[in-house]
Amino acid sequence: MRFFFVFIFVFISCSAYSQGGLRGVGDRFRGVSNAGGGGGDTLGRRNKFEDSITISYRYLDTARTYRLDSSINDFTVKFPIPSDYYYLGNTGSAAQSFLFAPTMKAGWDPGFHAYDIYKYTIDNARFFTSTRPYSQISYMLGTRSEQLIELMHTQNRTPNWNIGLQYRLISAPGINRNQKTSHNNYVVTNWVQSVNKRYRNYIAIVANKLKAGENGGIDTALNYIDNTDYAQRIRIPTKLGGDAGLSANFFSTDVPTGNKYDDFNALMRQQFDLGRKDSLVTDSTVVPLFFPRVRLEHTIRYSAYRYLFSDENPMADYYKDVYQLESAPSPFRREDFWKELMNDFSIYTFPDEKNTQQFLKVGVAMQNLKGIFRDAVTETTDGVNYTDDVTTSGYNILGHGEYRNRTKNQRWDLLARGTLYFVGMNAGDYEAAASIQSLLGKKIGSLTLGFENVNRSPSYITNPLSSFYLMPENVDLKKENTTHLYAHIYQPLLKLGLSGHYYLVNNYIYYTDFYTINQASLFNMLQIAAHKVFAAGKKDQFKWISDTYFQQVIGNGPVNVPVVFTRNRFMYDGNLGYNNLKIAMGFDTRYRTNYKGNNYSPILGQFFYQDEATVKYKLPDIAAFVHFRINSFRAFVRAENLNTFRRLANANGKGSSFGFTNSNFAAPDYPYPGMIIRLGIVWGFVN
């Protein structure tokens, strides 16, 4: 919390200081194009005293610019859990997609991904360009003191220099025992370009501190879900944590039993261009121009990762019965710690000097790695004692290339890229991908075709050196190989999008129980998706937005996914006759067919394959919502899990009670909560 208050102070200070920062900058960099723009709305405010704001952003490895999204008909745009994910009963807990999505990244991977959706990363860090200082505050309050706070500020100190700050706090005590979550994330970005436009420097600092309680699921000794004596879910005993998980104190971030994942990433990229100088002369100014033909690029990145599972008061029988561990020292801890240093040098060539989105890039990189693995054995008055640290170190040398051509008329977008690990820990790994996208016309729509093939080493969590490797014997694992073919077409007149994905997977690595690692032979996966908007009314203000997915495993693949998953939103989306008001209200529903869904291993932080218990949906998930926007102010009011309402006979046989207790299950022994009320605001303001 101390860091949070410091960040608030810095945020307010930057906002106050910036109020005079860019006034009078001029018009010469206000015309940032929205090539391929991200959001459906541009952000602007105009009155008789000041100009409108133009704000855009790009990601580190893209040349395309995006606009901020100010739409209000999809709550998941601002909520950290995507609509196609299920989570283990509390905001911030481990989550996985209903849709099959194998890891498509070669090279070193520590192997912990159950909390990835709550992380900021270098890849999704946004580098802004803004004609005026801009700040955004988001706040959401949910049932049982669940809170989400997000702050963002960006400003151009000069036309060629921008700084950005972003911070997010997720704090949720949870409905059940020992599922408290407390996540802190921040991003600092800085980019600067020389006046002659030859030199650019990008800096990004990204850090995540994730804490999540693990309860192992609810106890199954009794049918607690249908027992009125346990309508207060905090009373249901759980397999881990005991009575320590009863606290709901918002100001306490302590997680006595659970996973604690921390990472810190610092990157600096420098680019220097060789080419032709020019200038644009107007009546009052001379704007320097530069057309690059060759670009030299150097990127250095340092990262540190810490993955810790700890149980301060372990229940010995659980670890013996579930993980076959003969002893569970108090405290019980497993920890993997990694340091990574990456140096990358690349050269670009631009065939057309006036189109910087057409280029050929080749480069070589060196990655240095060091791992430390610890198992706690005893606790003394001086602290926690560990066995002798197990360490490892290694390196990778890899080459990469990319060709990109986004034509000037923006009708064609071609991409081909590849990466090959020459020598080192992951020698022989590679990635190859190609795609073509075409805008066939406003009436015909757009078409995308793509191909990926990835050959990757097993994640390091499956290496016997890892402290999270709990198998009694070593397993010899081969490299995974995954081929992915995909196509997408969108027809704007019909408001219809169709997608298809085909996966060919060989040597698929998976867990068969809480700690046992296995590898599968060749199998296939087919996914088909449809997105359709049905609209009615004079201004199409009555809408039914439907997203439907069909999945089928071909062969004996150890993958269980719902055959059908669908999300449907029924809403009014209009202004009710008020020009400054935008409102969306209605129902948001999700449904999937019953299937033998993955179970979850708390120590390892891994979802694993099981083929015994069917995870049933009693009713579709139903949420009622009212979202509205007035200028740059947005508000969200939602009542979620309305489907859990039921009348249930009392345990003593006298009368009945009503409540939101008819929970669906996310995974075996992991129920969703009952009704949740969420109130949220998003306020963006120009300084």
pLDDT single digits (tens) 434-474: 999 998 877 788 999 999 999 999 999 999 999 999 999 99
Q: 121 CB contacts (<8 Å, ≥6 apart)?
A: 206, 265
Which two tokens mark 679?
């109130």
Rounded CA-CA distance 519/506 in Å is 9
Rounded CA-CA distance 201/299 in Å is 10
What count of residues does the chain have?
687
pLDDT of residue 325: 87
Distance of CA 325 to the CA centre of its chain: 34
What's the one-letter identity of residue 357?
Q
pLDDT band of 610, cuts 50, 70, 90: very high
Kindly tell me if the per-residue pLDDT of 576 is higher than 90: no
Contact 125, 137 (CB under 8 A): no
- Would the CA dihedral through 282, 286, 287, 288 be positive or negative? positive
Q: Whose CA is closest to 364, among 320, 390, 399, 335?
A: 399
Write the DSSP assignment of 251-319 as a string of letters. Answer: T----SEEEEEEEEEEEEEEEEEEEEEEEEE-SS-EEEEEEEEEEEEEEEEEEEEEEEEEESS--HHHH
Kindly tell me if the per-residue pLDDT of 20 is higher than 60: no
Write the DSSP assignment of 560-572 as a string of letters. Answer: ---SEEEEEEEEE
Which two tokens mark 52?
């409108």
pLDDT of residue 29: 27
Angle, CA 417 vertex, CA 412 and CA 423 arms, to 5°: 175
CB atoms under 10 Å from CB of 678, counted, come to 20
CB atoms under 10 Å from CB of 605, counted, come to 22
- Give the position of tokens 């102010």: 633
Distance of CA 151 to the CA centre of its chain: 17
pLDDT of residue 247: 56
Contact 33, 67 (CB under 8 A): no
Contact 630, 580 (CB under 8 A): yes
Q: Which residues pair with 289 in a beta bridge?
A: 278
Q: Whose CA is closest to 263, among 116, 389, 394, 393?
A: 116
Q: Whose CA is closest to 597, among 92, 116, 76, 95?
A: 95
Kindly tell me if the per-residue pLDDT of 530 is higher than 70: yes
Rounded CA-CA distance 95/597 in Å is 13
The helix/strand/coil state of 460 is helix
CB atoms under 10 Å from CB of 379, counted, come to 14
Q: Is 572 exposed, middle or buried (0-12, 13-18, 19+ CB in 10 A)?
A: middle
H-run or E-run covering 625: strand 621-630
pLDDT band of 49, cuts 50, 70, 90: very low
Contact 365, 342 (CB under 8 A): yes
Phi then psi for residue 542, to 5 deg, are -95, 120
pLDDT of residue 19: 37
Residues of 498-532 as b/e, b for ≥16 C-beta within 10 angstroms?
A: ebebebbbbbbbbbeebbebebbeebebebebebb
pLDDT of residue 230: 87
The helix/strand/coil state of 540 is coil
- Give the position of tokens 């900058």: 25
pLDDT single digits (tens) 122-169: 999 999 999 999 999 999 999 888 999 999 999 999 999 999 999 999
Is omega for the bond preceding 329 within 30 degrees of 0, making it cis?
Answer: no
The helix/strand/coil state of 623 is strand
Q: Whose CA is closest to 625, among 659, 584, 590, 660?
A: 584
Q: Whose CA is closest to 618, among 566, 565, 665?
A: 665
Q: Within 454-501, where are the H helices?
A: none
pLDDT single digits (tens) 611-662: 999 998 889 999 999 999 998 899 999 999 999 999 887 766 666 778 899 9
Q: How does the average pLDDT of the chain come out, rounded?
A: 87
Q: Which residue has the higher pLDDT, 628 or 8?
A: 628
pLDDT band of 40, cuts 50, 70, 90: very low
pLDDT of residue 48: 38
Q: Where are the domains of the chain?
A: 2-282+293-686
Rounded CA-CA distance 41/365 in Å is 39
Angle, CA 113 vertex, CA 611 and CA 339 arms, to 5°: 140
- Give the position of tokens 């390892």: 604
Rounded CA-CA distance 173/147 in Å is 9
Q: Which range is least confidently modeled, 92-96, 174-178, 476-480, 639-643?
A: 174-178
What's the one-letter identity of residue 120?
Y
pLDDT single digits (tens) 379-435: 444 555 555 688 999 999 999 999 999 887 778 899 999 999 999 999 999 999 999
Please state the rounded mean pLDDT for residues 356-374.
Answer: 95
Phi then psi for residue 317, to 5 deg, are -65, -35
Rounded CA-CA distance 443/292 in Å is 36
- C-alpha dist (Å) from residue 246 to 105, 213, 237, 304: 40, 11, 10, 33
H-run or E-run covering 168: strand 161-172
* CATH top class, domain 2-282+293-686: mainly beta
Q: Which range is least confidently modeled, 90-99, 229-238, 619-628?
A: 229-238
Kindly tell me if the per-residue pLDDT of 543 is higher than 70: yes
pLDDT of residue 441: 77
Rounded CA-CA distance 122/677 in Å is 33
What one-character DSSP code corresponds to residue 51?
Answer: P
Phi then psi for residue 259, to 5 deg, are -100, 140
Rounded CA-CA distance 429/420 in Å is 6
**With pLDDT > 70 as the criterion, what percentage of the chain qualifies?**
88
Write the DSSP assignment of 401-440 as a string of letters. Answer: EEEEEE-TTS-EEEEEEEEEEEEETTTT-EEEEEEEEEEE
pLDDT band of 677, cuts 50, 70, 90: very high
pLDDT of residue 533: 95
